[in-house]
Structure 1
C-alpha cells in the first residue's frame, strides 16, 4: 500500500516553500504538487509542516487519496500510475490542447498536408463551440451531431472534419486511459452515436483525347509577362499527363537525385507516410516531354530537378498558379467557366484513357498511377518491375498525341471508382461488429482503427469464450457505420480463428 505525507522540498527564490504530498510505493517516491506554500518559520528541522491550516488541508487530501486507492488492487502499480489515479478526480481535460499537441506531432513526423486538414477541422469545431478551449465534457453525441449539421453545405469537409476529430479523440483515449489498471480519465465516447455523412462524390474530371489535343494545340493568350501563367499551366499539364498522372506536388519536389537513366524515381507525397512501400514508383521519361524537362531544368549546383522553387515558395502556391494558368488558357479558348480544367483533370484523363482506349485493366491503371490497390504490404516486400507502367504510359501518349483515333469516352469507370462494390474498411471508419454462435451474441465491438475485416474478426474472436468446440462455425456481423453498409462473415474455430 502506498503511503502519503505532506512535505516541503527546497525553498523557492522568494524564500517560500512549496508544499507537496509525497507518495511512496514499493520503496519508490513520487510527489504531488499542491497549491499551498509555507514560510521557513512553519517548517521544523525535520521538514514537518506546523501551519495548522495547511496541515489540515493536506490531511483531507491524503484521506481522499487513500480512500480512492483502497478501492483498487494497486500492488503492481508504479508510483506514477498511483499519482495519476488519485489526482485524476473528475476534472475535465481540454480537448483543444490535446488536439494541437496531436497536430504538432503530425508535423514532426512530416505529415504536413494531413496536419493542415486536422488544423482546419479543429478550427472549425472551435468556431462552432465559440471557444479555443473545448473540453472533453462538451463533446457529447448531440452536440457533435449538431456541429456536423453545420458542415452539411460542404462537399468534403462534412466527412473529413469529423473523421479527423474522431481520430484525435481516439488518440487521447489510448494515451490517457489505462484499461488494464482501471484508470479511466476519458469516461465517455460520443462517436458511437455520431453519424458521419459521406463526402459528395466528385464529378469525373477526365476529358476526352480530342479535348486534350485541342487544349495543347490552342494558342497562348497574349501577355506582357516573361513567364506567363498560361504557358506554365499548359507545360505542367503536359508533364502531369505524360508522367502517368503525376501530382503537381511531386513534380515540384523532384530532386536531381530522383532522375537517372532516363527515369524519374520518387515517393508519392500524398501516401508515402501511409504505405509500407512508401509509395515508391519509377516512371520512364518519354521523349515527348524531354524539351519541358530541359526548359524548366534547375541550374547546376541546385538540389531540385526543376526550377519551380525559384518562382513559388511552396507546393501549394505552385499548384494554385498552375491551375490559374490552365484556367486562363481555357478562358482564351472560349470555354464556359464551369468546364475549365485543372491540373487534376489531366491525372484523371490519363487513367480514363488508359483503361478506356488502351485496354488496361483497373489494376494496371492503379499500378501505373501509384495507387496501392490493396497490396501495400506485398509491395513493401518486393522489388517491383515498373516496365508495365512505362509501356502503358507510352500507349496513352501515343493515343493522345500521335494518333487521330477517336476515343471511346463514356465507357470507362472513373479513375478512383472501384471495380466492384465489395465491403471494405479503413482505419478511419467507425465499425460496429458482433460475433454470433448459435444465434446468440457472444462478442461485440464498436471502435475505429480497423484496416481490414480480418482485424475486426480477430478482435471479436479474442472475446469469445473457450467453450466453443473446435470445428464450430461462428458468424461475424460487421457494419461500416459511416457508410451504413453491413456484411456477414463466417469462420470456423480452429481454421478461421
Structure 2
C-alpha cells in the first residue's frame, strides 16, 4: 500500500520550503507539490507548528491528504502493478475545472519545457529554452504586480486585470515590453484551454475582450542609433569583461546579426566555418543559411578563438542562456559608460537591417534574404527565383562600410 506524508522540500531564497506530499510505494519516492510554503521549523510529524495560520494549514493539508488516500482506496487492487510515478500522476490528475492556479500552472509548464530543452540539448548538442525564459519573465512580472504573492486563479484574470497589468508595466517604463508580456500570457491561456483535460472553460478566456495585437505598434524595433553604433566601434571599454562582450557584439553585427544561439553553437554541435563563410541552419526557422566572413569579422573570429572549443565564449559559458545573460550584463555597462540607451546582443540584428534599409538603400527582399528569413510568401520562397548569395554579401559590405568607414 502506498503511504502519504507532508514534507518540506526545495528551499527558496526567503528560507521557506515548499510543502510537498511524499508518496512512498515499493520503497520508491515521489513528490506532489502544494501551494503552501513553510520554514524548516514549522512542520513536525506531519503537522504545521510555530506558524500564525497553523490551524488553517493543518486543516487544508489534512483535507488534501485525506482526499488522496480516498483516491488510493479506489485503485487499491491495482497498486501492485503501478510504479510510484504512476501513482503520483494518478493523484495529480484530479484537477478541478476553472480552479487552476496561475503560478502552479506556469511553474509546471516551465519545468516541462526545461526538461524538453535539456533532452534536446543532450540529443542534438544545441537547443533553445526561449519559451521557458519568456514564461519565467511573465511569472516574475505578474508576481511583482500582485505583490505580496497570493493565490491567483486563471478565471480571475479578466479584462480589468489585463488593463491594470498593462498600466503597471507602462508605469515601470516598459512600453515595448507590454506586447511581449501580453502575447506570452495569451499563449499560456491558449495552452491551458486547449488541454484535453478541459482545465479551463473558454468562457474565462479574457482575450476575447482585450486586443493584444493592438499593442504590437508599441513594440519599437530594438535598434541602436547610427551615431551611438559608431561610437561602439571606436570606444575602449573600461575592463576585460566589457571588451570581451563588445567584441562578441561586433562579430555578431559583422555576421548580419546572427542569432545568439546560432553564434554560440558555431563549430560547437551547430554550424561550421569553411571556405571563408559561416554555414548553419537557423535554430528559429531551420532555414539553411550562409554568410560571408568579411575581413573585420575574420579578425574578431581569430581574436575570440578558444583553447578547447572553437570560441572562447563557448568555454566561458556552459550554456547559451548563460552566454546571453552575461553578454547582456556587460553590454548594459557599456551603454551606461557611453550614456546611450541599453542594448543587448539581439540589437545587432535589428540594427543591421535598419542601417541596410535606411542608410544603404538595400531592398527589403535582400534584407530578408540576408537575415535568413523564410521566404514562403515571395517568388523566391515559391522557388521561382534562385537568389545569389553575392547580393547579401554586397549588402553586408555596404553596411559595414557605412558604420565604420564613412563619415
Residue 154 of structure 2 corresponds to which residue in structure 1?
136
Residue 191 of structure 2 corresponds to which residue in structure 1?
171
Residue 288 of structure 1 corresponds to which residue in structure 2?
296
Deviations 1:296-335 (A, max 9, x none): 1122xx3x4211133345222342255146437xx4xxx5
1:349 is displaced (CA, Å) by: 4.1
1:363 is displaced (CA, Å) by: 1.9
Contact 1:205 1:349 in 2 (8 A): yes
In structure 1, distance between residues paired with 2:159 and 2:205 = 8
Residue 390 of structure 1 corresponds to which residue in structure 2?
393
In structure 1, distance between residues paired with 2:388 and 2:72 = 70
Deviations 1:160-185 (A, max 9, x none): 2232122122112211466xxxx986
Deviations 1:468-493 (A, max 9, x none): xxxxxxxxxxxxxxxxxxxxxxxxxx
Deviations 1:40-59 (A, max 9, x none): xxxxxxx9xxxxxxxxxxxx
Contact 2:327 2:344 in 1 (8 A): no
Deviations 1:237-261 (A, max 9, x none): 4313321223445433322552122
Match of 1:298, SS? coil
| 1:147 paired to 2:159 | no
| 1:232 paired to 2:244 | yes
Deviations 1:107-165 (A, max 9, x none): 34434122111122123334545546432332343344433333332323322223212
| 1:309 paired to 2:320 | no
1:36 is displaced (CA, Å) by: 7.8
| 1:100 paired to 2:107 | yes
The correspondence for 1:260, drawn from 268, 274, 284, is: 274
Aligned pairs (5 A) from 1:346-361: 346-361=348-363
In structure 1, distance between residues paired with 2:280 and 2:251 = 15
Deviations 1:329-374 (A, max 9, x none): xx4xxx5x14677655554443233223433111211221234466
1:194 is displaced (CA, Å) by: 2.7
Summarize the Cα distance change of 1:159–1:35 in structure 2 as closer, same or farther, 3 Å threshold: same
The correspondence for 2:132, drawn from 110, 115, 122, is: 115
Residue 182 of structure 2 corresponds to which residue in structure 1?
162
Summarize the Cα distance change of 1:298–1:184 in structure 2 as closer, same or farther, 3 Å threshold: closer
| 1:189 paired to 2:194 | no
Structure 2: stretches of 5+ with no match in the other structure:
5-66, 78-89, 118-127
Match of 2:175, SS? coil
In structure 1, distance between residues paired with 2:293 and 2:377 = 25
Q: Normalized against structure 2, the TM-score is what? A: 0.60
In structure 2, distance between residues paired with 1:211 and 1:345 = 12
Q: Normalized against structure 1, the TM-score is what? A: 0.51
Structure with greater helix share of residues: 2
1:215 is displaced (CA, Å) by: 4.7
In structure 2, distance between residues paired with 1:33 and 1:97 = 18
Residue 255 of structure 2 corresponds to which residue in structure 1?
243
The alignment yields a C-alpha RMSD, in angstroms, of 4.2
Match of 2:251, SS? helix
Contact 2:113 2:129 in 1 (8 A): yes
Q: How many residues align?
A: 306
In structure 2, distance between residues paired with 1:33 and 1:214 = 64
In structure 2, distance between residues paired with 1:91 and 1:237 = 46
In structure 2, distance between residues paired with 1:107 and 1:12 = 29
Match of 1:166, SS? helix
1:385 is displaced (CA, Å) by: 5.3
Deviations 1:440-462 (A, max 9, x none): xxxxxxxxxxxxxxxxxxxxxxx
In structure 1, distance between residues paired with 2:168 and 2:282 = 34
Aligned pairs (5 A) from 1:372-451: 372=374, 375=377, 386-401=389-404, 404=406, 406=407
Q: Which has the larger radius of gyration?
A: 1
Structure 1: stretches of 5+ with no match in the other structure:
1-10, 15-31, 39-46, 48-82, 407-497
Summarize the Cα distance change of 1:37–1:377 in structure 2 as closer, same or farther, 3 Å threshold: farther
Summarize the Cα distance change of 1:258–1:35 in structure 2 as closer, same or farther, 3 Å threshold: same
